[in-house]
Chain A
Amino acid sequence: MLDQTGAQAPVLEAANISKSFGSVPVLFSLSMDLRPGEVHALIGENGAGKSTFMKVLAGFHQPTKGRIKLDGREIALPPNGEAEALGVVLIHQELNLAEQMTVEENVFLGREMSRFGVLDRVSMRRAVQRYLDQVGLSISPTDRVSDLSMAEKQMVEIVKAISRDARVLIMDEPTAVLTEVETQMFFDQVNQLKARGVSIMFVSHKLAEVEAIADRITVLRDGHWITTATATDLTTESMAQLMVGRELSDLYPPMNEVDVDAPAVLKVDDLTAPGCDGISFSLRKGEILGFSGLVGSGRSALFQALVGLNPSTAGQITYNGQSFRPTSVAKARDAGIVYLTKDRKEKGLLLGQQMAPNLTLLALSKFSGPLGVDRKAEGAAMTRATRRFDIRAKTNETLVGNLSGGNQQKLLLAKVMEADPQVLIVDEPTRGIDVGTKQQIYHFLAALALEGVSIVVISSEMPEIIGMSHRVVVMREGKIAGTLSGDEISEQEIMRYAAGLKNGSEA
């Protein structure tokens, strides 16, 4: 990336920002600046203070110490998103759209155009259409937001920001839920905005993307500023090292080959269910089978049918040599097949509850005796899981919603492991968590496979699929496009199948 922004005065400047919540310091004297038309990435492990820092920069938190300058003038940013009026817009990770309203209504929410006291829908629609054309988004202003894909929703947020003449756009993990294709589309928008002089600051855990799109990169660790560097001076490797503060060897554990005579634990023939069609594959004992493909290619749908979340309409499943019909999640669980959802906040964990009830929910019957649920056994299980999965919470009474993403994910993994699975299906096991926790999860899964548990890894992150899997199944439009093993497993090869350039063998 060219650095054409070097000489210009910064739009937004933070000097020695400190922030404490109560008596707990979170940010320690951070300084950084954002230049016009620059893309500035903010990276760091979970809990490094990125989100807090962004909220300070957008006025959602007031700094305990330090100054913020906008256009060179010192300013106290107004709270609750009122900084939007000054051109500083924060786009939250959980998008802030009214799902049941249309695109047009969302874009103009709170500052509707009106004529003679009546909403001027024609003008608003025209204006929104103009913005949509600008960003090259092929949706209509009258589309309902709930009908849009994640990427489109993200774009609507950006359109909303542009329509408010945003000069500084701050985004919290904008690509976390996007597929590779959608991410590319998103990057095109970012480049367009950049060309128009908009400054963009974003948080991402995907270092390859940071390398591809950012002009400059600021690294935070434990609330401290570590460095700000031009992107060309950093590699993904050095970024990861700066974030963690130590040598990051062996993100992926060494691959252990599966026994040649290991029996097939699970065999699926011609399975058809909502979202997938005629799927056949087999899974051997102790094997890690990767499932790749674009979001919506039917990977999750397939395995949701396999664990009884959705009914399958045709096909044959053989499990441990016997015919198996997953009619309910409970039945799949009892048989030893469990599914770790990719949506830990909506489908995985009860955020308003403590950790123990979450841990035991899937396998609760195991903890139930004649006198009801055995709370002592639950406590013991919690202690075990905390140690085994390195779950870090101040107390056991901590609400799950207050844990960091990485600790939530480890708790979720601990939860499905309580069911003692023989077949463990993990769907996006490391979404939105930091690199240190990722490493822990990879090593845990590999150790589990070595013990003889068969694992299916569904992931949109190619390095993860390639680094973990013995074989890789690529799905496309609800069908298996191809199966790769050994040296065939490469990013290019997977992409070819996923994009439909190649079609081939079955697993």
Chain B
Amino acid sequence: MSEAQADSGGARHGFRIDIKSVGPMIALLLLCILGYVLNPAFASEGNLTNILTRSAFIGIIAVGATFVITAGGIDLSVGSMAAVISGVMIITMNSAIDTFGPGLTTVLLGCGCSIILGLGAGMINGLLTTKGKIEAFIVTLGTMGIFRSLVTYFADGGTLALDFGIRSVYRPVYYGDFLGLPIPIWVFICVALVGWFLLNRTTFGRYCTAIGSNEGVAKYSAVNVDRIKTMTYVIQGLCVSLATIIYVPRLGSASASTGVLWELEAIAAVIIGGTVLKGGYGRIGGTVIGALILTTIGNILNLTDLVSNYLNGTMQGLIIIIAVWLQRGPWQKPASSQT
């Protein structure tokens, strides 16, 4: 009995994995075809580069979120974290001009500051969750509010603008090319590759999956659960700081509305990509595609007047729900038949 069922269970799972890895890819392809049919300008080189560049922010953050979610956590603070990091970066660089002048040193100082803040903020989220034994949802809901109000305070309710002298030095980080591709795309590619390797090929990634599947088993298997979980939040923080570094030169400013709802877009990208929200199974490749899908929807709405651009959120919401429905869709039999 058990062997027969084991067999069918295995086959069923294999099938589901296939759907999970191929499904998002097919969805993205269909979206691209739809975009091209509605407006051939969609497939122009400029537009495709534009989509990739824009998805880099959410994509980089979502790669970090893949680790947090795979290990059974959640980080709601990433949008606010990006905002407060942008704010502090701008303040730092503006005040460093007096000492170092509007040059590379100042920009590097700002970037260093961003990375330290990202790592620190991630560390705080992680330690409060693990050592403080507070649910990740509550911790990051709290820090989300704190970070958001901090940036409002720093900007005094208005906008923090980067000094024009530095803008010209810093500008290439967003607008510059390397081997024909904009810098943000390169950063995105690197982050995704490193993330894929970490999650799929290292003990750290395996431990994340184990913790997300069953923390008790991980603990009994000599996994330092607290350290690994904290590390996922630190990685998330680092990803946010990298995304911020390429985001700041785009607008050259930060305000209370910077990065609003990024946390939801990042989580959405992760889930659309096939990572399981309750942890234990994560896919970096899926996350990348998830981020591309979200950006592509917005882009198609911009290029056509079929649906109002104001309904962008509606379309994204629908895609998220459909994606998850497809993943645990009707072909999956209830678990009770397996026992």
**Partner-B contacts on A (CB < 8 A):** 21-22, 24, 26, 46-49, 51-52, 60, 223, 309, 328-330, 332-333, 339, 341, 343, 346-353, 357, 361-362, 364-365, 368, 371-373, 392-395, 397-399, 401-404, 407, 415
Contacts and interface: CB of A to CB of B under 8 A. Distances in A.
B21 to A, nearest CB: 15
A47 to B, nearest CB: 4
B7 A362 contact: no
B206 A402 contact: no
B18 interface: no
B1 A47 contact: yes
Contact of A353 (B14, B213, B337): B213
B39 interface: no
A189 to B, nearest CB: 25
Interface string B192-230: 000001001111001101100110111111111000000
A362 B8 contact: no
Interface in B1-51: 1-10, 13-14
Given A51-B339, A329-B220, A371-B201, A402 B1 contact: no
Given A51-B339, A348-B217, A394-B10, A361 B210 contact: yes
A186 B183 CA distance: 70
Contacts of A24: 4-5, 7-8
Given A329-B219, A333-B222, A362-B221, A368 B202 contact: yes
Nearest to B213: A350
Nearest to A405: B2
Interface in B322-339: 336-339
B3 A373 contact: no
B191 to A, nearest CB: 17
Contacts of B13: 397, 399
A330 B7 contact: no
A313 B118 CA distance: 38
Given A329-B222, A361-B210, A365-B203, A350 B6 contact: no
Query: How big is the B interface, by class?
Result: 35 or more
A357 B212 CA distance: 14
A423 to B, nearest CB: 15
Nearest to A49: B1
For the complex of A and B, 4 pairs with smallest distance between CB atoms:
A372-B201, A404-B2, A24-B4, A402-B9
Contacts of A372: 197, 200-203
B221 A26 contact: no
16 contacts: A309-B220, A330-B222, A346-B217, A347-B219, A350-B213, A350-B280, A352-B213, A361-B217, A361-B221, A392-B3, A394-B7, A395-B7, A397-B13, A398-B7, A399-B13, A402-B10
Nearest to B339: A51
A329 B336 CA distance: 34
B220 to A, nearest CB: 5
Contacts of A223: 1
A101 to B, nearest CB: 21
A271 B44 CA distance: 73
A393 B209 CA distance: 23
Interface in B307-321: none
Nearest to A341: B220
B206 A364 contact: yes
A368 B13 CA distance: 27
Contact of B9 (A328, A349, A399): A399
Contact of A362 (B4, B222, B337): B222
